[in-house]
Amino acid sequence: MGTPSDMKLIDENGRRLDGRGDEELRPIRITTDVLQRADGSVLMEWGGNKIMVAVYGPREAYPKHTQDIEKAVIKARYNMAAFSVDERKRPGPDRRSTEISKVISEALSAAVMVEKFPRTQIDVFIEVLQADAGTRIASLTAASVAIAAAGIPMRDMVVGCAVGKVEGRIVLDLSKDEDNFGQADVPMAVLSKGKEVVLLQMDGDLTMEEFDMATSMVLNASERIAEIQRNALVEKYKGENYPEIEGSEE
C-alpha cells in the first residue's frame, strides 16, 4: 500500500491499467451447485479471482462447547491454495486468513437467520484457487449465493465490492497492481436490500469526502453485483431448462 513506484496506474485518458473506467467492475461470473456433496456450492470468477465455496449444514455443532443454545454459529474458513498467488503461499492458516475467516463469518451472521437453528453450525468453506485482489469480498459475495442455494433462511443477501484510491482518484474494484501500488483499499459489504454495512475495512487513508464518495460507489455497484447473484441462482430453475418429458407429447 502506497509503495513508491513510477508505475503509471491511470493513463492520460483516465483509463486504468486494464482499460476500465473509474466505476467499472471486472467481469463477474457465478456458477451455482458445482459440488454434488455440498448442500450449496458456488464457483466465483471475479476478474482474475477464482474462488470455490461449499456450504454444509445447519448441523449439530461440534466440539460441543462451540454450540450456542440460542442460535446457529457460522464457521467460515477462508483458505488460499499454495498455487493461488505468484510466489508459493505456505499452506495452512495464517494471520491474514484467520482474520478474513472471522470478518466473513460475522458478515454472514448478520444476513442468515441464525436464531432458527439453535445449537447448530453452518460451515462455509472458501477455497481461493487463484487470487487477484479483492478476494475477501468476492468470497463473501459467493458465500452468500451458496447459502441461498443451500436453502438456509436469510434476511437478505450479502453483496460487496472493494473501492480504493489510486493516484489520487477514487476507483471501484481494485486490480492487483492498483491494490499493491495504490494509496488506499476499502473492502465493503452491505445487505443487498437493506443497505446495512456488514463488512468495512480500510487500508491506507481517505479524507471524509473521499470516503463518502467511495461509499456511494460501492452502494451503486452493489445493485449490479446483486443482479449477477440473482441470475446465477435462477439459472438452474429457468423454464427452458426443462425438456418435455419423454412420451408426454401428443
Partner 1 sequence: MIKTREIKDIVFPGDKIETGQLKPRNGIQRGEESNCTSQYFGVVQKGEEFIDVVPFNGSYSPRRGDKIIGKVLDVGPSMWTIDMKSPYLVMLHMNDTPWKTYSGELRKFLVPGDYIFAKIMNLNEVKESWITMKEPGIGLRKLEGGTIISVPSPKVPRIIGKNGAMINMVKDATSTRIIIGQNGLIWIDGEPEHVQKAVEAIKIIEREAHTIGLTERMTQFLKDNKGENHGNAQ
Copy the grid coordinates of residue 165: 484510491
Selected range binding partner 1 among 1-9, 56-64, 88-96, 98-106, rule: CB under 8 A:
56-64
Q: In this structure, are residues 145 and 98 in contact, taking their beta carbons and an 8 Å threshold? A: no
For position 155 contacting partner 1 by CB under 8 A, the verdict is yes
Sign of the dihedral through C-alpha 223, 11, 45, 110: negative
Least separation in angstroms between residue 41's CB and partner 1 is 11
Applying the rule CB under 8 A, the residues between 209 and 228 that interact with partner 1 are: none
Applying the rule CB under 8 A, the residues between 168 and 207 that interact with partner 1 are: 191-194
For position 37 contacting partner 1 by CB under 8 A, the verdict is no
Nearer Cβ to partner 1 (154/200):
154
Least separation in angstroms between residue 220's CB and partner 1 is 18
From residue 104 to residue 143, what is the string marking binding to partner 1 with x (rule CB under 8 A)? -------x-x--xxxxx-----------------------
HEC secondary structure over the chain: CCCCCCCCCECCCCCECCCCCCCCCCCEEEEECCCCCCCEEEEEEECCEEEEEEEEEEEECCCHHHCCCCCCEEEEEEEECCCCCCCCCCCCCCHHHHHHHHHHHHHHHHHECHHHCCCEEEEEEEEEEECCCCHHHHHHHHHHHHHHHCCCCECCCEEEEEEEEECCEEEECCCHHHHHHCCEEEEEEEECCCCCEEEECCEECCCHHHHHHHHHHHHHHHHHHHHHHHHHHHHHHCHHHCCCCCCCCC
Least separation in angstroms between residue 200's CB and partner 1 is 20
For position 65 contacting partner 1 by CB under 8 A, the verdict is no
Applying the rule CB under 8 A, the residues between 70 and 109 that interact with partner 1 are: none
Choice from 137, 149, 188, 206 touching partner 1 (CB under 8 A): 149
Choice from 17, 81, 85, 154 touching partner 1 (CB under 8 A): 154
Choice from 26, 28, 39, 172 touching partner 1 (CB under 8 A): 39
For position 237 contacting partner 1 by CB under 8 A, the verdict is yes
Work out whether strand 169-172 and strand 197-200 pair parallel, antiparallel, or are unpaired.
Answer: unpaired
Selected range binding partner 1 among 21-29, 165-173, 211-219, 235-243, rule: CB under 8 A:
235-243
Binding site for partner 1 (CB under 8 A): 39-40, 57-60, 69, 111, 113, 116-120, 148-157, 191-194, 229-230, 233-234, 237-240, 242-249
